[in-house]
Amino acid sequence: MFKVKQLAVGGFDHNFSYLVVAENGDAVLIDPTGDVETIRAAVAAAGAITPRWILLTHGHLDHWEALGEAQIFFAAPVAAHPCCQAEAGHRLRNGEKLPFGDGFIEAIFTPGHSRDSVCYRLSDDSALFTGDTLFVGCVGFCRSKEMFDSLTRRIIPLNDNLMVYSGHDYGSVPCRTLGEEKRSNPYLRCPSLEDFKQEMKKLV
């Protein structure tokens, strides 16, 4: 079992950072950004934890601008996509499973919004951290067909029970399940690339 803390850190535009704690105290911090005091307070409130990883969903600065400060109180290696411009000691492979608690966190490469976009799935299928790939009711801005491929091949096949935790608070609610997204997010309901492109025009 994993506990997820969704942290409304402000930042560039209603950004979220996440603290995830496993039953044995293993902890990961995802996209440290915005108000570092909010992150610090969440880490302190979590009690006796063992920082395992800082995970980045992609290299856009608004998702890791508090990285340096966060490493002072959450000392853990940084993992990111090989193309990510942020300083990351661990360069992920698609499908890589990082040991975490009594399970793992899977890195799923989802190029589209950026070429270095990564989603992270908890092994018990309780949560999916999507960065700017998938928002509640929407997707991250993109120009290429890569996003359509990532969504159809790598996101839609995943378990409906996953809670989608995205990088910005852009939806009607801060988070909801992937099953709900599949039912009501128009970008997950496009039967073809052409339909997807039509839908994308609404984002411009």
Interface positions with Fe ion (CB under 5 A): 60, 132
> How many of the other CB atoms lie within 10 Å of CB of 24?
11
Q: Which is nearer to Fe ion, 144 or 161 (CB)?
A: 144
Least distance to Fe ion, CB of residue 104, Å: 25
Q: Which is nearer to Fe ion, 60 or 176 (CB)?
A: 60
The span from the CA of 14 to the CA of 87, in Å, is: 24
Q: Which is nearer to Fe ion, 15 or 185 (CB)?
A: 15
SS3 5: strand
Q: What are the start-end ranges of the H helices in 36-192?
A: 36-45, 67-73, 146-150, 178-184
Least distance to Fe ion, CB of residue 122, Å: 22
Which of these, 111, 39, 103, 109, lies nearest to 76 by C-alpha position? 39
Q: Which is nearer to Fe ion, 2 or 166 (CB)?
A: 166
Contact in structure between 22 and 102 (CB atoms under 8 Å): yes
Least distance to Fe ion, CB of residue 58, Å: 6
Least distance to Fe ion, CB of residue 61, Å: 9
